[in-house]
Structure 1
């Protein structure tokens, strides 16, 4: 086993360790699309054995509207994360996975200066995780600065790490709106869709999983 393959295996082992049970039967990946309250959706997310959230996510507050649940086992983030008050809550009980596709081209290694000094993270290996996803999307990431969004990369991690588990996806706006040029986030902020992303291709890939019977999309 190569060192890089070992890193990918370690990532899966850590995800299993943080999950409610060692072999998750269900995995939820929650994107940051603003969604209307829906107790059924929130319960479906929180009922999963492993819940992965992305970048500057939000969770439901106690006593507040039930939208995407409260459970968080793992956080998939990039260096440009806009941290909300939810991102570091109970951080000692969560796994933080750093995606760094830009390191293949120009991205610096430094973390934001406000990153907690006592919080470690696990880099997601580009060769074993990112590049196979780029191949599935038809993106020439090896030679050009183009790659998936963090949300799709989180979904890919879940899909490939636990292929026998039921995958629950929610909060992915580009599945229904593949031509948007800006994002609205559940946290209330917004930003442009980065030129490095090809979200129409990402939407087609995730939507194709829903036709296999192993993936559920909750709008």
Structure 2
């Protein structure tokens, strides 16, 4: 995974990585600058980026898109797709999810499935989730953060747009794109929030609110 990510980063040994979730955030020029100044920026599912003439909020840079089969694609998802890496997490393949490309996926765009043995299961172990036996696993956002943190353990990691860090018991959530959905029963977001918050105590991970 590290070798693949390196290809899309600003240089092959990123010193700073940002992972941007889909929580709606107020405009903040410093946050947007911090995200866009990172050597590698990962965004999740149906994300949004800042408009050139809009208020700076979450920046505009995107090197990697981490998504799942339930993706609600915004118009930002496929912008500049030839310059991005698309990683599809598919933890449901461990149980009932079919293989093959989603029917809505563009014919001329490649993607890389995320290996469940290398990513999903170690993350579930860290969260204390019985993913091998039961249909429970981390959200796509936490998977993206895990990929970033484990691939670049010495880099500065910036996290933004993760609502469950501060609100771990919510049962639904709004997205920055304007839509909303329930928190899937397969997710244990309180455990995910504890994990990500624990990283912020190490000195190498910062939460941008």
Q: Is this a same-fold pair by TM over 0.5? A: yes
Query: SS state of the match for residue 59, structure 2?
Result: coil
1:83, 1:52 → 2: CA distance? 16
Q: Do residues 180 (structure 1) and 170 (structure 2) align?
A: yes
Tell me the alpha carbon deviations over residues 26-62 of structure 1, each in whole angstroms, 9 at most, x when there is no partner. 0000000000000000000000000000000000011
Corresponding residue of 2:179: 189
Corresponding residue of 1:36: 26
Give the superposition deviation at 1:14. 1.4
Unaligned runs of 5+ in 2: none
- Residue of 68, 76, 84 corresponding to 1:78: 68
| Deviating 4+ runs (over 2 angstroms) | 110-114
2:92, 2:157 → 1: CA distance? 27
Counting only pairs closer than 5 Å after superposition, residues 16-165 of structure 1 correspond to structure 2 as 16-165=6-155
Tell me the alpha carbon deviations over residues 154-211 of structure 1, each in whole angstroms, 9 at most, x when there is no partner. 0000000000100000000000000000010000000000000000000000000000
Give the superposition deviation at 1:63. 1.3
2:74, 2:102 → 1: CA distance? 14
Tell me the alpha carbon deviations over residues 97-126 of structure 1, each in whole angstroms, 9 at most, x when there is no partner. 010000000011243322110101111110
1:89, 1:217 → 2: CA distance? 26
Query: SS state of the match for residue 119, structure 1?
Result: coil
Query: SS state of the match for residue 43, structure 1?
Result: helix
1:108, 1:57 → 2: CA distance? 25
TM-score by length of 1: 0.94
What is the CA RMSD across the aligned residues, in angstroms?
A: 0.6
Number of equivalenced pairs: 209
Query: SS state of the match for residue 18, structure 2?
Result: strand
Unaligned runs of 5+ in 1: 1-10
- Residue of 179, 198, 203 corresponding to 1:208: 198
TM-score by length of 2: 0.99
Query: SS state of the match for residue 67, structure 1?
Result: coil
